[in-house]
Amino acid sequence: MTGGFRSRSKSGDKAPESKQHGKNGAPQRGGGQRGNAQRGNAQRGQANRGQGQRGSAQRGRGMQDQRNRGNRDDRGNRGNRNAGAKNTGAGSSLVQAAIDQGGDPARAVAFDVVRRVSEEDAFANLVLPKALRKQKLSGRDAAFATEITYGTLRTLGVLDAVIARCSSRELESISPVVIDALRLGTYQVLYTRVEPHAAVDTSVRLVVAGGEEKAKGFANGILRTITRTPPNEWLKRLAPEGEIAGLAFRHAHPTWIAESFARVVDPEELPAALAADSERPSVHLVARPGEISAEELALITGNEEGTYSPYAVYMDSGDPGQLEPVQQGMAAVQDEGSQLIARAVCEVPVSGTDQGRWLDLCAGPGGKAALMGALARIESAHVDAVEVSPHRAKLIEKTVQGLPVTVHVADGRDPQVGSGFDRILVDAPCSGLGALRRRPEARWRKSEADIAELSTLQFELLSSALKLVRPGGVVVYSTCSPDLRETRTIVDQAVEKLGAQELDAREFIPDMGNVGKEKSVQMWPHRHGTDAMFMAVLRRGDEEGS
């Protein structure tokens, strides 16, 4: 979030100045984070019973629970089926209906986006910019809409816990439209400087705009009840027992994710690791080698060069798609950690002569393949990029256009691209726990049960790579997750079962300070400003398997 807003927006209310959390995680006024109030993966039940376990009322109508609603795939909204003439759907009609009810465009857009995320499994970071442009919102109004949209989605756990405590009805029985309006209002009350009466009134108007006029009294009562208790008191009252569960609640993470992080970082560092997921990340640009340097890109765009990657430029504000170097394919958006991984693939020394046969085994969406391709062009090498999805493969082809990269639609476990590669990148499909800061709703959509299936796939892909690489060649294994089940466990299995030799990956990146105690590299947002990327470097032994 961007800190303290003090002037008024078109809504007539104070634009939100986030309430910074103190040492105990309680909201206090002045600058800071939106996300330091969670509920664990299991905290709807706390709101009804004051307990901290994954109860049957975990987080109201949150993303995870919507999997059982039975409309769109397994996350639809049951209430939409019988909506009749009610305007329960998302889209321009809902925005206009909210404005017609006397609402301001910023809140109308926020409501629409939250509804899309709930109803359609949309990604807020993709939907919101388009909605802002369509309504021609900019400046403080755009910032207001962004803050309450992302903030609401990040803090669903505590919002649902508070709403449930104040509701006479189980959250499952409340209309999805009403729940989403209540979430927006509760977020404004707990985490912004919007006057409570304004947050209540405008949220009730959203209920009516969504076609639930009969529920406006119900919504009004809940929100007014919420305003009678100070925000920090709500957190104290509803926080579950247990140190990690309590931290998870305050920092807007499911408990299982906080427990996952706790296995990797020291206890005193865990609050910072969780808090970083609710901070607004800067956009990282990559200057394509051979096209433009990072220094030139920084000068042209008026931004700063990155700290670690020689190709990185930090962009604090603005639309990167409007930059001329990006439009011309000379630069792109790519996290600095991802840049370091792609660079390492190309720089780790191989035994014998590098014949220039490089492979990206899991190439979608194409960022690493493009950087590898740019470096391959300089080294007179060639990259084969494998992607199982035909649609994503087409996107990769656009991304790597003009580079020595051939895209193959195939399963990386049996890609049918030959063998004898000098260098292979396995950027394996993963839980994405390392990039939670970029998608506010993502933490509530993930399930710990998914990791077991993912880890099986990850090991199979790494096994495939070690068969495809030539003796003496190198394989870089990476994930955008710090979960040990997706990182060290997979690498250790490859060493123990497949005879791979693990090299010290720290030798192939710039000095970044603390990147873990193993030979692998674990980056973190709170330490390095990158996504929580993991990287290990393996070398295949000679023909005799040494």
302 and 258 assigned to the same domain: no
Q: How many structural domains comprise the chain? A: 4
Please state, for a pLDDT cut of 90, what percent of the chain lies above it. 78
Q: Which helix (H) or strand (E) holds 522?
A: strand 521-522
CATH of the domain at 157: 1.10.940.10
Residues with catalytic roles: 480
Task: Based on the fold, state whether residues 327 and 371 are members of the same structural domain.
Answer: no
Range of weakest confidence among 35-49, 238-252, 397-411, 530-544: 35-49
pLDDT band at 21 (very low <50, low <70, confident <90, very high): very low
pLDDT above 90 (res 541): no
DSSP for 131-162, written as a single string = HHHHTT--HHHHHHHHHHHHHHHHTHHHHHHH
Co-location of 249 and 226 in the same domain: no
Do residue 121 and residue 255 come from a single domain?
A: no
Mean local confidence (pLDDT), 462-467: 98
Q: Pick the range with the lowest mean pLDDT from 45-49, 209-213, 259-263.
A: 45-49
- Residue 67 within a domain: no
Mean pLDDT score of the chain, rounded to an integer?
85
Name residues whose C-beta falls within 8 Å of residue 23's C-beta, 6 or more positions apart in sequence: none
Residue 490, classed as helix, strand or coil, is: helix
Does the residue 109 lie in any domain?
yes
Cα dihedral 513/21/46/81 (nearest 10): -90
Average pLDDT over residues 129-157: 94
Tell me if the pTM is above 0.85: no
CATH number of the domain enclosing 348: 3.40.50.150
Is residue 228 situated within a structural domain?
yes
* Residue 313 structural domain: 281-333
Quick check: 326 pLDDT over 60? yes
